[in-house]
Amino acid sequence: MKGPETLMEFMEMYKTEEDCRRALFEHRWPAGFRCPRCGHDRSYAHKKRPLFQCVACRHQSSATAGTIFEGTRTDLKKWFLAIYLLAQTKKPISSAELSRQLGVAPFTAWSMRRKITRAMARKEGELMLAGVVEMDEAYVGGASKGKRGRGASGKTPVAVMARQNESGGCSLAHIQVTHDISGLSLGDAATSHVTPGSIVATDGWPAYGKLGRLGFDHQPLVMEGVENPAELLPWVHITVSNLKRWILDVFHGVSAKHLRSYLDEFCYRYNRRRQRTDLFRRILNRCVLYAEPVTYTQLTAC
Ligand SMILES: [Zn+2]
């Protein structure tokens, strides 16, 4: 089924709680009900509550159990509208604006936004980079104007990897918070985002020397004679400047504590910038299938 492309279509499709619940059911069990405990495919519908009881093992489940919507006291209609606004607006909506648009408390809006963007986080092995990949490290966030580049104070180190495509552009990019910019941390970042055997181009930072031993075709580029270091690795620099501009524009800065969540959202959007159709249904699908319920403590821990 096609997703809504306009607000009018959205309002027609999800008029009631029941419409939203049906949509969650369809995402969770596209081929019909399947008991999460025993795999049986028949259930009784509970008369008063939106529950399905397995005919074989009597386990009760619902379309929201095990998803970010589990136990929510907020209407599903509001959740759906939040996902729609996050998916369809070119400039992503902030939680303060979400609070105003949905008529929910600021903390509720913040928590909803965080849970939805958590579902945007890249899964292990998803969108691996291959071919020619630029890699660099950068420092993001922090209010202090410490020295720039390696060792900047008050900022969080991130590893940036961008795949060059055949026409000289950039198709995909990933940015990950790293503990530091040691060979171990940068090697871990490369291993989890880049397919072994790929060409990985970096600057001459010695920590990248480890990449060859990790199965990559490491190509350190020489800075000599190059006035602007951004020329050596253009796409990682463009990605990082886009990220910094986006953070300022949408959030007016971020704290180190929440940086990972903002990076996940930025990369999700960046990597789908040319295929924006049906983003609502794609994000809804991730909320149902790929994001587990999270507590407040888990949300604020990263
Ligand atoms: Zn069962």
40: CA distance to ligand 1 center in Å? 5
74: CA distance to ligand 1 center in Å? 28
62: CA distance to ligand 1 center in Å? 13
Query: Does the structure show a pLDDT above 70 at 182?
Result: yes
53: CA distance to ligand 1 center in Å? 8
150: CA distance to ligand 1 center in Å? 55
The pLDDT confidence band at residue 25, using thresholds 50, 70 and 90, is very high
- Decide: 122 and 263 in contact? Cβ < 8 Å: no
Q: Which of 162-166, 281-285, 288-292 has the lowest mean pLDDT?
A: 288-292
Q: What is the mean pLDDT of the segment spanning 155-167? A: 92
Within 13 A of 75's CA, how many CA atoms are on the CB side?
A: 12
34: CA distance to ligand 1 center in Å? 8
Q: Give, as residue ranges, everything with CB less than 5 Å from ion ligand 1.
A: 35, 37-38, 40, 54, 56-57, 59
Q: Is 82 helix (H, G, I), strand (E, B) or coil?
A: helix
The pLDDT of residue 152 is 57
Interior CA angle at 26 toward 277 and 114, to 5°?
A: 60
- Decide: 291 and 119 in contact? Cβ < 8 Å: yes
The pLDDT of residue 146 is 46
Query: Does the structure show a pLDDT above 60 at 266?
Result: yes
Q: What is the mean pLDDT of the segment spanning 270-290? A: 89
Q: What is the mean pLDDT of the segment spanning 60-81? A: 92
Compute how many other C-beta atoms are within 10 angstroms of the C-beta atom of residue 55: 14
Q: What is the mean pLDDT of the segment spanning 294-298? A: 78
DSSP letters for 225-250? T-S-GGGTSHHHHHHHHHHHHHHHHH
User: Which residues, other chains included, contact 8 with Cβ-Cβ below 8 Å and sequence gap of 6+?
Assistant: none
43: CA distance to ligand 1 center in Å? 8
Place of tokens 């049986």: 40
User: What is the Cα–Cα distance from 34 to 36, expressed in whole angstroms?
Assistant: 6
Average pLDDT, the chain: 89
- Decide: 260 and 302 in contact? Cβ < 8 Å: yes
- Decide: 250 and 94 in contact? Cβ < 8 Å: yes
212: CA distance to ligand 1 center in Å? 49
Q: What is the mean pLDDT of the segment spanning 249-262? A: 83
Helical axes 95-102 vs 76-88, angle rounded to 10° = 130
pLDDT in tens, 12-23: 999 999 999 999
60: CA distance to ligand 1 center in Å? 8
Q: Which helix (H) or strand (E) holds 44?
A: strand 43-45
**Burial tier of 102 (Cβ tally within 10 Å: 0-12, 13-18, 19+):** buried
32: CA distance to ligand 1 center in Å? 14
The pLDDT confidence band at residue 243, using thresholds 50, 70 and 90, is very high
User: Which domains, and CATH codes, for the chain?
Assistant: 132-271 (3.30.420.10)
Q: Is 158 helix (H, G, I), strand (E, B) or coil?
A: strand
